[in-house]
C-alpha cells in the first residue's frame, strides 16, 4: 500500500511518521519549496503528546517545548478567577506542551527526513483522479510549471484551511465563517513570569481577551522566556468571510489601545505587545462540520477536515490524533477503502462535536459575569462567583480541551504494524 499525503504541516508529517511506523509506504507532497519554522505558539494536549511519544519523539518534545503546569484565568486587573492544572499536573501520564508551531514542524520534518528519506517539495496539487484500483494526484511544479503526477492507493488531504482536496471532494462546501472576533498574535522574548510554565487567560468581558504563555525550552534554559501572546477582540457579528489570511501583518496601533491599563500577575501586557517585532492579524474562523470527509480512496485530515476556533488549544492536537488513527486503521484494514471508512467513522463525530463546542465560547461567559459583578476588580473570587459557577467554568474548559484522565492513561497503545499479505 502507498499513501499520498498532500501537505507537510503538523498533521501531514505526523501521518507520514505514523504510517512509516506501521509499515506502510507513503509520500508527503508539499507546495512550499523550502519549509521554514514559521508561525507562533500552539499547545499539544496530553492525548496528542502520548501519540508523539509513542512515535519516539518524547525527548525531542521535552527539549523544545514547555511542559505547561497550569492555566490561570484572570480579569483585566490580574485577579485570579480559577486556576486549572494541566498535563501531568492534572494526573495525565503525559504533559501538555506549549511549543512554537514552526519548531514543532521542523522537528517532525527532521524525523521524516531521517526515517523516510525526505518529502517532495515545490509541488502544488491541482486535482486528483481515482478509480477502483488507485488514486492519482495531478501536480504542478511551482519552480518550473511542469505538470507531474503521483499514483498511490490512498490520498490524504492534510493541506490546511484552504484545502484543495476538500474543495474537490466538496465543491458545494460552505464558506469560512467568521466568529466576529479579530485576532492578533505574536512572539516576543521577555522575563519569565510565575513558575515559567503557566498560561494566563485574561478577559474584561466577552469582547476582549488576552492569552500569554511561554513556548521555548531553549529560551528557558537561557533564563529567559519566549512568550506567545494572543489578543482577541470582538468587532462585528458572526458571518461568512471570503478568505482568511493567517499570516497577514498586524499593526500595533490597532491592537494596543484595547489593553490600556491591563495588569496581569507577572507579564506586562503593553510591553509584550509593543515589544513584538512581527504582529500577525486574522479573523477567528471555522467551517460548518462536514457530513462526510472523503470518498473511496481519498480522505481529509487536520484543518482540512475540521477547522475550528483556537479556544480549546485543540487544532494541532486533533491533527496528531487524526494521523495516528488513520495509520492504525489502514494497518489493520482488509483494503484501503475500508481503512479510510473506519478512520472517518471514529474521528469525524468527535471532531465535529469539538467544532461546535468551541463556538459556544463558554469560558468567556463566566469572565463576562465576573466583569458585570466586579467591574473594578476583586480581592477574592469567592466574593464574586459561587462554587457552582466556578465549577461550571472548570467543566467548560475540560469539555473543550481534555479527555478522561484514566481512559487516556490506561487504554492500549495505537502502535500497530501492517501484516504482509
Query: Which is nearest to 15 in space by CA: 151, 156, 127?
Result: 156
Between CA 306 and CA 318 the distance in angstroms is 9
Residue 142, pLDDT above cutoff 60: yes
Q: What's the order of all strands across the beta sheet hosting 154-157?
A: 120-121, 25-30, 2-6, 154-157, 298-300
Residue 286, pLDDT above cutoff 60: yes
SS3 (DSSP) at 415: coil
Cell 506542551 -> residue: 97
Q: How confident is the model at residue 366, as a pLDDT?
A: 85
Higher pLDDT, 216 or 256: 256
Q: What are 383-413's pLDDT values in tens digits?
A: 999 999 888 888 887 777 777 899 999 999 9
Q: Any idea which of 75-84, 179-188, 235-244, 263-272 has the lowest mean pLDDT? A: 235-244
- Between vectors from CA 337 to CA 335 and to CA 340, what angle results, nearest 5°? 110
Q: How confident is the model at residue 421, as a pLDDT?
A: 56
Between CA 373 and CA 203 the distance in angstroms is 14
- Between vectors from CA 357 to CA 356 and to CA 358, what angle results, nearest 5°? 90
Mean pLDDT for the chain overall: 94
Between the alpha carbon of residue 316 and those of residues 255, 330, 331, 338, the distances in Å are: 26, 21, 23, 26
Tell me which fold the domain 2-38+101-175+289-359 belongs to: FAD/NAD(P)-binding domain (3.50.50)
Q: How confident is the model at residue 420, as a pLDDT?
A: 67
Cell 502544488 -> residue: 124
In terms of Cβ atoms closer than 10 Å to its own Cβ (0-12, 13-18, 19+), residue 54 is middle
- What mean pLDDT is predicted for residues 206-235? 93
Residue 216, pLDDT above cutoff 70: yes
- What mean pLDDT is predicted for residues 213-234? 94
Residue 313, pLDDT above cutoff 80: no
Contact 104, 64 (CB under 8 A): yes
Q: How confident is the model at residue 77, as a pLDDT?
A: 95
Residue 202 phi, psi (nearest 5)? -120, 145
- What mean pLDDT is predicted for residues 172-190? 94
Between CA 43 and CA 101 the distance in angstroms is 9
Q: CA 396 from chain center: how many Å?
A: 19
Between CA 4 and CA 35 the distance in angstroms is 18
Residue 222, pLDDT above cutoff 80: yes
Residues with Cβ within 8 Å of 32's Cβ and at least 6 positions away in sequence, in order, are 8, 121, 122
- What mean pLDDT is predicted for residues 123-149? 97
Query: Which is nearest to 377 in space by CA: 11, 66, 47, 78?
Result: 78
Residue 298, pLDDT above cutoff 80: yes
- Between vectors from CA 83 to CA 78 and to CA 86, what angle results, nearest 5°? 130
Between CA 15 and CA 18 the distance in angstroms is 5
Q: What's the order of all strands across the beta sheet hosting 97-100?
A: 41-44, 97-100, 66-67
Cell triple for 64: 523544545
Contact 253, 127 (CB under 8 A): no
Does the model's pTM come out above 0.85? yes
Q: How confident is the model at residue 399, as a pLDDT?
A: 77
Amino acid at each position: 500500500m502507498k499513501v499520498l499525503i498532500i501537505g507537510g504541516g503538523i498533521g501531514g508529517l505526523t501521518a507520514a511518521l505514523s504510517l512509516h511506523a506501521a509499515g506502510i509506504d507513503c509520500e508527503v507532497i508539499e507546495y512550499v519549496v523550502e519549509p521554514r519554522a514559521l508561525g507562533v505558539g500552539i499547545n499539544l494536549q496530553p492525548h496528542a503528546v502520548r501519540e508523539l511519544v509513542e512515535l519516539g519523539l518524547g525527548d525531542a518534545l521535552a527539549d523544545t517545548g514547555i511542559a505547561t503546569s497550569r492555566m490561570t484565568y484572570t480579569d483585566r486587573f490580574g485577579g485570579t478567577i480559577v486556576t486549572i492544572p494541566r498535563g501531568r499536573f492534572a494526573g495525565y501520564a503525559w504533559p501538555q506542551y506549549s511549543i512554537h508551531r514552526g519548531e514543532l514542524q521542523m522537528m517532525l520534518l527532521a524525523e521524516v527526513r531521517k526515517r523516510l528519506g525526505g518529502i517532495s517539495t515545490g509541488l502544488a496539487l491541482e486535482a486528483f483522479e481515482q478509480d477502483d484500483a488507485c488514486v492519482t494526484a495531478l501536480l504542478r511544479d511551482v519552480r518550473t510549471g511542469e505538470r507531474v503526477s503521483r499514483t498511490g492507493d490512498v490520498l490524504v488531504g492534510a493541506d490546511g484551511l484552504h484545502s484543495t482536496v476538500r474543495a474537490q471532494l466538496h465543491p458545494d462546501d460552505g464558506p469560512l465563517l467568521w466568529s466576529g472576533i479579530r485576532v492578533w498574535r505574536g512572539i516576543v522574548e521577555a522575563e519569565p513570569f510565575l513558575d515559567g510554565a503557566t498560561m494566563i487567560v485574561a478577559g474584561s468581558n466577552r469582547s476582549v481577551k488576552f492569552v500569554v504563555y511561554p513556548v521555548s525550552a531553549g529560551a528557558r534554559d537561557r533564563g529567559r522566556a519566549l512568550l506567545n501572546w494572543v489578543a482577541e477582540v470582538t468587532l462585528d457579528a458572526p458571518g461568512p468571510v471570503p478568505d482568511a489570511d493567517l499570516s497577514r501583518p498586524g499593526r500595533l496601533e490597532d491592537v494596543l489601545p484595547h489593553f490600556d491599563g491591563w495588569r496581569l500577575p507577572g507579564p506586562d501586557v503593553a510591553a509584550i505587545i509593543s515589544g513584538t517585532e512581527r504582529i500577525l492579524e486574522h479573523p477567528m474562523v471555522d467551517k460548518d462540520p462536514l457530513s462526510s470527509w472523503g470518498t473511496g480512496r481519498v480522505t481529509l485530515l487536520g484543518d482540512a477536515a475540521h477547522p475550528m476556533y483556537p479556544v480549546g488549544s485543540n487544532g494541532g492536537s486533533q491533527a496528531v490524533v487524526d494521523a495516528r488513527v488513520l495509520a492504525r486503521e489502514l494497518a489493520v484494514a482488509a483494503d484501503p477503502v475500508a481503512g479510510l471508512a473506519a478512520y472517518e467513522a471514529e474521528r469525524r463525530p468527535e471532531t465535529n462535536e469539538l467544532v461546535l463546542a468551541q463556538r459556544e465560547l463558554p469560558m468567556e461567559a463566566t469572565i463576562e459575569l465576573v466583569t458585570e459583578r466586579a467591574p473594578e476588580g476583586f480581592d477574592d473570587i469567592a466574593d464574586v462567583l459561587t462554587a457552582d459557577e466556578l465549577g461550571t467554568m472548570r467543566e467548560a474548559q475540560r469539555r473543550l480541551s481534555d479527555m478522561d484522565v484514566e481512559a487516556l492513561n490506561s487504554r492500549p497503545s495505537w502502535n500497530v504494524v501492517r501484516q504482509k499479505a
